[in-house]
Structure 1
Amino acid sequence: MTQSTLIIGAGGVAQVVAHKCAQNNDILGDIHIASRTISKCEAIIENVREKGAMKEDRRIQPHQVDARDSAAVADLIRATKADIVINVGSAFVNMYVLDACIETGAAYIDTAIHEEPDKICETPPWYANYEWKKRDLCAEKGVTAILGAGFDPGVVNAFARHAIDEYMDEVASIDIVDINAGSHGKYFATNFDPEINFREFTGVVYYWEDGQWKETEMFASGRDWDLPIVGTQRAYQSGHDEVHSLAVNYPEADVRFWMGFGERYITVFTVLKNLGLLSEHPVTTAEGQEVVPLKVVKACLPDPSSLAPNYTGKTCIGDLVKGTKDGKPAEVFVYNVADHKEAYEEVGSQGISYTAGVPPVAAAILISQGDWDAKTMKNVEEMDPKPFFTVLDRIGLPTRVLEGGLGGTDKAWNG
């Protein structure tokens, strides 16, 4: 059993992670939650206790830390005797937390690629600019680092691996489709950190096709997808983390990511972008005050965690994978459907946070049990997906399969 698990971050996803760690603290041990603002950690702990989430009577404690201070994070890992660190803080802190784990020997899990505040859409594959530079050091020191272990990236990477392993001799394409058919009741809001959300869509959309990186613009390529439960939904080709590892691990496949957007989101986003309000570069006001427009917009929008109480509807996220089997065309859609209201009732967070927060806890459980204790750095598609699906099924995100692709035979995943 893991002695203790350290959670970095105290937003909506961290709240889900804390609940799921508490529900599995017979495996994950004591729980420690750290953020720059300790009151946020305390609020999460209060919610965990109110929901009666603790499986065993073990410690759950808050801590204050600047996650961009690797030495401070390393000191906290030692002080809490953490075996596993689940990093669900801002993507800006990944490399600092990873360095602390390498120094201390703790296992590392994150849910997104590292970013630098002044850079957007760097040369692909993005992982090669940051985390992968530490891969050899992780192997040398025997440190397990599981990258991109949220839902997308994360579970969708495992969906791709499963579809290829079980249904194909050769893979031709991987199309990841992310649809949120829910409603939060606000005029405009983002489902997770607005700064990170907008940065995903303001730069070049990179995708992998015909064995090379290609580029398009946001909202330039859209299509309707007829999906289980949520029905026909419009989605647009977008840049996203998982494309950058799947394209390297499956270079023979075209790899694209599609995300659903409503007309209001597109309209507001376009106006903000055209006015320069989504820029990450500082500007000076008439009063001489220097501000970053993107951070001002973030401060004006609702906190994503505040959306949860009134959120209704469902999400559908999955992979449509095409290839050949025994010389014949093969197609499969591997997916999950989550419910916003059910997520809120269980852990006090909306469905987007739920789908992002459950998978890193499943990864932590697999590391603790030895299944995923790789002693090196891995992306999710490089790990056996079957134990991952088994744990996800048990803790709240069941996997389903449409054999024959969209419109095919629907069944629960059966390990």
Structure 2
Amino acid sequence: MKKNVLIIGAGGVAQVVAHKCAQNNDVLGDITIASRTLEKCEAIVASVREKNALKVDGKLEAHALDAMDVEATKALITKTGAQIVINVGSPFLNMSVMSACIETGAAYIDTAIHEDPMKICETPPWYANYEWKRREECEKAGVTAILGAGFDPGVVNAYAKLAYDEYFDKIESIDIVDINAGDHGRYFATNFDPEINFREFTGQVWTWQNNEWTSNKMFEVGKEWDLPVVGKRKAYLTGHDEVHSLSHILKVPTVRFWMGFGDHYINVFTVLKNLGLLSEQPVLTAEGQEVIPLKVVKAVLPDPGSLAPDYTGKTCIGDLVKGVKDGKEREVFIYNVADHKEAFEEVGSQGISYTAGVPAVAAAMLIATGEWDVKKMANVEELPAQPFLGLLNKIGLPTRIKDENGDRALEF
């Protein structure tokens, strides 16, 4: 049984992870939060203590750490006795943090695919560019590395696995739909790190259709979806992490990801992109200063964590799965609805951070108890879905299903 958690990152998702680890520290043990900015880590510790979130007495500490420094990360893992590392920092950190885990024997969890800061929308399949190249290294070291254990990727991968195992004999397509019907009241803001958010949408959109990679431009293909609770919403075909693993691991002919966007977001995004302000390449100002436009935009936009107090409305994220069962065509929608205000009241973060952070803690708990301590690298769809979804039902992200038998909660 593994215990003691090191959380890397100090943004909105890290705050959710810290609160949820505290609520379950009888299973997870000591909690350490580390990032480059010590003050942000200390603020999270203070918020956890303010809400008396610790289930039992235990350590809750903040540390400064440059997680790109493998030796420093190894030293902190050793110093804190952390046997589980939850990486919710920038995706640029993934390979460095994974190296530290492999060399110390700590289990590794992340919520998004690794990115090279100088490359946008690399050629698919993305996991094969970085993470999957280290499968043998993880297995040889006996280190559990769970990739993409947020919501999307993460929970939606588990929904696909559940459908694959229990609801279909053959799956023809999986459409992952992510709708945020909330309102933060700001003129323009992103729900997570603006740099990472924009990078997702400035390159090609890669989807897996009819057993081959298909490329589109962002906002080129849109569709109106009618979903539970949030109703009719426009979503656009978007490249996303889970498309790359689900297409490879479950061998489904068509896997697509759709994200909801309002006209205002699209208009502002388009202007920024056309002006070159979303470029990751450095430019020289008239004063002779070298700046990266994307980082300047990030600096002037609201911190995503600051949106939480005023956020209202709900999210709906799920998998529409089509295929055949017992010789008959069928479709099911497996999904979750989260509430921004409820998330803030519980953990001080908005719903997008909540849906990303809670699953990472569930994954950590399953590693701690041994159910997911597989001692090798795995994407979520390679692991048993029921323990994960059952635990999420208990700690804040209940699963529902809509099919020919109606719309109902799923119990595990």
With normalisation by structure 1, the TM-score equals: 0.98
The aligned runs of 1:161-176 (5 Å cut-off) are: 161-176=161-176
Residue aligning to 2:61: 61
Distance 1:162 1:2 in 2: 26
Letter of the 1:168 partner, please give it.
F
Once the two structures are TM-superposed, the CA of residue 164 in structure 1 deviates from its matched residue by: 1.7
CA–CA separation in structure 2 for the residues paired with 1:105 and 1:297? 39
Partner of 1:361: 361
Which consecutive residues of structure 1, in runs of 5 or more, have no partner in the other structure? none
1:218-233 correspondence to structure 2 within 5 Å: 218-233=218-233
Q: Look up the equivalent residue of 2:397 and give its one-letter code.
A: L
Tell me which amino acid in the other structure corresponds to 1:214: T
Displacement, 1:249? 1.0
- Are 1:2 and 1:27, in contact at CA under 8 Å, matched by a contact in 2? no
Percent identical:
70
Give the alignment of 1:50-199 within 5 angstroms.
50-199=50-199
Give me the whole-angstrom Cα distance separating, in 1, the residues matched to 2:217 and 2:242: 18
Whole-angstrom CA distance in 2 between matches of 1:160 and 1:303: 33
Secondary structure of the equivalent of 2:255? strand
**Matched-pair contact (CA < 8 Å) for 2:174–2:252:** no
User: What is the match of residue 393 of structure 1?
Assistant: 393
Cα distance, 1:327 vs structure 2 = 1.4
Instruction: Please give the alpha-carbon distance, in whole angstroms, between the structure 1 residues aligned to 2:180 and 2:252.
Output: 29
Where 2:195 maps in the other structure, the secondary structure is helix
Q: What residue is the counterpart of 1:411 in the other structure?
A: 408
Distance in 2 between residues matched to 1:92 and 1:314, nearest whole Å: 29
2:411 aligns to what SS in structure 1?
coil
In the other structure, the counterpart of 1:3 is: 3
Aligned counterpart, 2:212: 212
- Alpha-carbon shift at residue 390 of structure 1 (Å): 1.0
Deviations 1:287-313 (A, max 9, x none): 000000000000010000000000000
Contact preservation (8 Å) 1:148, 1:380: yes
CA distance in 2 between partners of 1:147 and 1:61 (Å): 25
Separation in 2, partners of 1:167, 1:387:
17
TM-score of the two chains, using structure 2 as the length reference: 0.99
- Deviation per residue, 1:79-129 (Å, 9 max, x gap): 111010000000000000000000000000000000011000111000111
Query: Alpha carbon RMSD of aligned pairs, Å?
Result: 0.7
Deviation at 1:165, TM superposition (A): 1.2
Matched positions, count: 412
Q: How far apart are the structure 1 equivalents of 2:2 and 2:191?
A: 32
Cα distance in 1, alignment partners of residues 87 and 369 from structure 2 = 19
Q: How much has 1:250 moved relative to structure 2?
A: 2.4
Could you tell me how far 1:362 is from its partner in structure 2?
0.1
- Where 2:89 maps in the other structure, the secondary structure is coil
Alignment match, 2:277: 277
1:349-396, Cα deviation, whole Å (9 max, x unpaired): 000000000000000000001110010000001100100011101110
- Aligned equivalents of 1:66, 1:397: Cα separation in 2: 32
**Where do 5+ consecutive residues of structure 2 fail to align?**
none
Measure, in 1, the Cα distance between the counterparts of 2:348 and 2:178: 22
Measured after TM superposition, the shift of residue 251 of structure 1 is 2.5
Could you tell me which amino acid in structure 1 is paired with residue 411 of structure 2?
A: N
Query: In 1, are the aligned partners of 2:246 and 2:252 still within 8 Å (CA)?
Result: no
d(CA) in 1 for partners of 2:246, 2:375: 21
1:304 equivalent in structure 2: 304
Q: Which amino acid aligns with 2:330?
A: A
Structure 2 CA distance for aligned equivalents of residues 80 and 133 of structure 1: 29
Deviations 1:131-173 (CA, angstroms, capped at 9, x unpaired): 1111111111110000000000000000111112111000100
SS of equivalent residue, structure 1 residue 53: coil
Residues in 2 aligned to 1:163 and 1:177: alpha-carbon distance in whole angstroms: 15
| CA displacement at 1:253 relative to structure 2 | 2.5
**Is the 2:3–2:368 Cα contact (8 Å) retained in structure 1?**
no
Partner amino acid for 2:226?
Answer: D
Rounded Cα–Cα distance in structure 2 between residues aligned with 1:105 and 1:134: 14
Q: Give the Cα–Cα distance (whole angstroms) in 2 for the partners of residues 37 and 339 of structure 1.
A: 29
Q: CA deviation at 1:334?
A: 0.3
Letter in 2 for 1:311: Y
The letter of the residue matching 1:362 is A
Question: Which residue is equivalent to 1:322?
Answer: 322
